[in-house]
Copies of this chain bind each other. A is one copy, B any other.
Amino acid sequence: MKLKNSQSIIYIIIIFAMSFTATAQKDYKLWLQYESKTDREIITKYLNTIQGITILGNSETLKVALAELDLGLENMLGKKITHQADNKQNNSIVIGNKSSLPLALQENLKSEFEKVSKDGFIIKTITSKGKKNIVITGKNDVAVLYGVFNFLRLIQTNKSIENLAIVDSPKTDIRILNHWDNLDRTVERGYAGFSLWNWHTLPDFIDQRYIDYARANASIGINGTVLNNVNANALILTPQYLEKVQTLATAFRPYGLKVYLTARFSAPIEIGGLKTADPLDSNVINWWKNKVAEIYARIPDFGGFLVKANSEGQPGPQNYGRNHVDGANMLADALAPFGGIVMWRAFVYSEHDADDRAKQAYSEFVPYDGKFRDNVIVQVKNGAIDFQPREPFHPLFGAMPKTNTMMEFQITQEYLGFSTHLVYLPKLYQEVLESNTYRKGNGATVAKIIDGSLYNNKITGIAGVANIGNDLNWTGHPFAQANWYGFGRLAWNPYLDSEIIADEWLKSTFSNDENFVKPVKEMMLQSREAVVNYMTPLGLHHIMDTGHHYGPGPWVNNLSRPEWNPVYYHKASKNGIGFDRSKTGSNATVQYVPEVAKLFDDVTTCPEKDLLWFHHLSWDYKLKSGHTLWDGIALKYQEGVDEVAAMNATWNKMANYIDKERFKEVQMLLNIQNKEAKWWRDACLLYFQQFSGKELPKGVEKPTQSLEYFKSLKFPFAPGN
């Protein structure tokens, strides 16, 4: 890695020296920039339609909705909009929930109210008695708040607000962030600084970020947050910490954001003084009942528990000869009287089970189908291994028709270059959600299982492992804000197209100028395929370096558990490469329905993007392109590098469309990504070349360093580990 060109540093210094505050402000404001419009015609048009605001009701939620509307409209349109009494409005915005609306309005909106679900909103232009107003409403105040944010987004993205008739309901119940935040403020797999939660100054100091965090979440419909790590510490359940949690819950409440906690299964021992945490032990059962009651006394709308049990060293019911159902239902029974739920993670694999790790969650959980309580929802990662750049959809989706099942996506980029790689994840999420499980026949996408439409589930939800930290810009990479945004939008509506989401985000965050939006949107949409190509093409997976998962480590073979080693996953040898999960191998394919299993089993029908996930093939295997497998792998790595170079080139043309500071930040990060894409290509190809014994094909650049050099790289303080 060569010496820094000091001229370029100086250039950056001068930019930053002249801007000081601007960047801090813009980076911090996320997609709620509310940039002032400059086109007088557009402004006039909006102002003609928005001459006043009438608020019906005075709940805390409506107050923050009004504050948001004031802030957004004044910033964007340059004019403070008058607040009006109820009966005066014309060309106004009327906000209030259904019951607060005058009867005539309720009548007018009858069909919309029939269509809209509990948290959905209605935005409708209503002309009556010669007066024309925009009504933003819903069945409760949080729905109204969602409507307000949606309305502001129309203006942020320069959409027309004439003759509006929007009815939009969330398709899932639980739209939730999982913070893997520890009580010492380190964040497991966190790459954006440290935890937002300053436990030391809570409950007495309310950091403005808590409020801005809730605002940002509400603006995209996220309605829940698990504050602490799934690798849990029982102390969070002590009065000392619950008092702090209570303050956060109170701060978040106006924004419709419910607080959840992870429950350390052994808490009854660690903080309860019991001898056991056996879920069938009456003392344990009572301890949890009392603990839950104690929590609800503080937080009446507490959401419930997220539990990682008997997984990667976490305690669980199996420690006492019980099973996941016993554990989950015991907690669920304690929560049920208060309306709380248990999110029970299915991310389990045993060090004592020699079977393919990809199969273990399915094997363990499917027999439990129908046995979980109604207020339990099983939380399943999108793929069967662990948040790889690409995985086939998890076979558990659809395999438990009588069990509430929710999605766990990872927003933080544990395996995708941390926060220095621009990877637009909604593209990944969409690919998973659109996957056809063939459960109950063709067209049964993962989305239909997640939103409950296929099996008519009691509870539905999507969780995202947060990429948020105390970095000034929240997410480390300015474009990682798009992943938080996109996660929220897809949790609300798993059928949304990731391109539309990118469009909204770019316009709200940067600019409405199509000369900017179009190429940058293309860059975003391409970015996910790029990372797959330069890290793990053609179905390769989990070949990241050990522990921290930063950079390539396909050579790692010395970890205590076999399935923690990259060599377990790629199985490269002179004979070929890939994990045979077909009938002739681990037979993981049998966990899918026959139509899907057949597709994956047959090397000729298996999508090439998943090829080495399911098959071990010789280096000379012929790809559809006509290339040998070795050449194909090498060319894919090169393609990934080329795609990043193209992203750099695209971005370098954008200097004139946005502020210099964010332009430069992204430019620096793309340079890192460029460098690291080459590192991935060179390290992996040099390593695999030992087995293939073949030359690099034409078009693939020669590595600049030796394999030994790449193997020698050590990152003892890589973040998030």
Interface residues of A (CB under 8 A from B): 1, 3-4, 6, 9-10, 12-14, 16-21, 23-25, 28-29, 32, 60, 63-64, 67-68, 70-71, 183-185, 191, 193-194, 199-201, 203-206, 208-209, 211-212, 215, 235, 243, 246-247, 250-251, 254, 298, 418-420, 470-472, 661, 665, 668-669, 671-672, 675, 715-719
Contact = CB atoms under 8 A, between A and B. Distances in A.
Nearest 9 pairs of A and B residues by beta carbon: A16-B211, A17-B67, A18-B67, A16-B208, A183-B717, A9-B250, A204-B672, A17-B64, A6-B250
Contact of A661 (B1, B21, B208): B208
A17 B199 contact: no
Given A25-B24, A204-B668, A672-B205, A211 B17 contact: yes
Given A1-B243, A21-B25, A13 B60 contact: yes
Contacts of A13: 60, 64, 206, 211, 251, 254
Given A17-B254, A205-B665, A235-B716, 5 more contacts: A3-B243, A4-B203, A9-B250, A208-B665, A470-B470
Contacts of A185: 194, 717, 719
Contacts of A418: 200
B470 A193 contact: yes
Contacts of A64: 13-14, 17
A655 B12 CA distance: 38
10 contacts: A3-B298, A6-B250, A13-B251, A14-B67, A18-B67, A20-B32, A185-B719, A200-B718, A201-B672, A204-B668
Contacts of A212: 16, 20
Given A3-B298, A420-B205, A717-B183, A60 B10 contact: yes
Nearest to A244: B4
A671 B204 contact: yes
Taking chain A's interface residues, is the majority helix, strand, or loop, or is none over half, making it mixed? helix
Contact of A668 (B10, B205, B211, B717): B205
A204 B472 CA distance: 18
Contacts of A16: 206, 208, 211-212
A170 B214 CA distance: 47
A247 B17 contact: no
B671 A208 contact: no
B671 A215 contact: no
Contacts of A471: 470
Nearest to A297: B3
Given A206-B12, A251-B9, A719-B200, A246 B17 contact: no
A63 B212 CA distance: 36
A716 B234 CA distance: 12
A199 B717 contact: yes
A408 B17 CA distance: 30
Contacts of A199: 717
Nearest to A206: B12
Contact of A18 (B23, B28, B71, B235): B71
B661 A4 contact: no
Contacts of A191: 200
Nearest to A201: B420
A431 to B, nearest CB: 29
Contact of A9 (B29, B247, B470): B247
Contacts of A201: 419-420, 672
Nearest to A247: B4
A18 B70 contact: yes
A9 B206 contact: yes
A411 B260 CA distance: 38
A29 B20 contact: yes
Nearest to A202: B4
A4 B19 CA distance: 39
Contacts of A194: 185, 193-194, 470
